[in-house]
Amino acid sequence: MERNTFILCSSEYDGAMEEMTVIGVRGLPIIHKGDDIPALICTRQSLQDGDILCIASTIYSKSKGYTRPLSDIRPSERAERLSQLNGEDPRFVQAVLDASADIIMEHPLVISGLAIVGKELVLRPVDIVIERGIITAIAENKNASEMKKISGKDIGVIITDTCGRSFRRGQTGNAIGWSGIPAIRDFRGDVDLFGHVLKITEEAVVDEIAGFANFVMGESNNGVPAAIFRNCPQWTGHDNLYFTKDEDITRKLLKKEMCQ
């Protein structure tokens, strides 16, 4: 029997935390261009003030028409070369090159936010704009307002995508866009149990929520592309989730290796 709802209980000593509920939104149809995702969700699941709605980027992209038929893609010489090195479809490699603002590493693998669904390539949402290292979810702000208009509730929205991790096997969910909630819970200046002032602790809450949402949504043929988080405690912080180019040590090292 599949579970639709998860209940997360905090310690009885933790008065700041309530009982949190995570609800998978089931029964959504296969999404096509032009489909109204907020309306489809609201007809299947009621929302409450303070809820955080997570939506898989794949269905968001499909609803906006961010797809390319594989048959329409003509690989360049560079795409053909990289496909031989990495064992990928050259059409997929070409689509990655077309969608990339910068290539950090060519080999031994291709890391991207693109996915092949059937005979189509599903692209990352193009209106999630990275500016000065800060992700600004233009469409997600609009999406959140649409959800509020339809549901009559004040909610947060997170667009999620699965991503691999350095040093670890397996994929997990990450936030690639959000609205109505800070990305980072900032503990800097707070004190720990022993009175030490915290200097660097910044919790990526939107990624943590996206990770559990991915667990609820599942992969393969599970068919649950959205999840609702209820009774999450509020937090304060900021939206500087991404390192700037000057701060990103990993990026510098990878680009240095490529140039050698």
Span 241-257, pLDDT tens digits: 988 888 888 888 877 76
* 183/236 Cα distance (integer angstroms): 9
Domain(s) of CATH 3.30.1330.100: residues in the chain: 5-61+128-259
Burial of 152-190, coded b for 16+ CB within 10 Å and e otherwise, reads ebebbbbbbbbbeeeeeeeebbbbbbbbbbbbbbbbeee
What is the model's pLDDT at position 132? 31
What is the model's pLDDT at position 201? 93
What is the model's pLDDT at position 251? 82
What is the model's pLDDT at position 214? 95
* 157/138 Cα distance (integer angstroms): 12
What is the model's pLDDT at position 237? 95
CATH 2.40.110.10 holds for 5-61+128-259: no
Domain(s) of CATH 3.90.1660.10: residues in the chain: 67-123
**Residue numbers of the chain with a pLDDT score lower than 50:** 1, 13, 15, 129-140
Sign of CA dihedral 79, 167, 220, 66: negative
Tell me which residue of 147, 158, 141 sits closest to 210, measured CA to CA. 158
What is the model's pLDDT at position 208? 97
* 8/3 Cα distance (integer angstroms): 14
What is the model's pLDDT at position 133? 33
Backbone angle region of 126, left / alpha / beta, with phi > 0 → left and psi within -120 to 50 → alpha: alpha
What is the model's pLDDT at position 1? 47
Q: Which residues contact 203 (CB under 8 A, 6 or more apart)?
A: 184, 185, 186, 187, 235, 237
* 221/65 Cα distance (integer angstroms): 22
CB 91 within 8 A of CB 70: yes
What is the model's pLDDT at position 45? 92
> What is the total residue count of the chain?
260
What is the model's pLDDT at position 3? 60
What proportion of the chain, given as a percentage, has pLDDT over 90?
A: 47
What is the model's pLDDT at position 108? 72
What is the model's pLDDT at position 186? 95
Tell me which residue of 130, 183, 133 sits closest to 158, measured CA to CA. 183
What is the model's pLDDT at position 143? 63
Q: What class is the 67-123 domain?
A: alpha beta
* 38/154 Cα distance (integer angstroms): 13
CB 96 within 8 A of CB 109: no
What is the model's pLDDT at position 139? 41
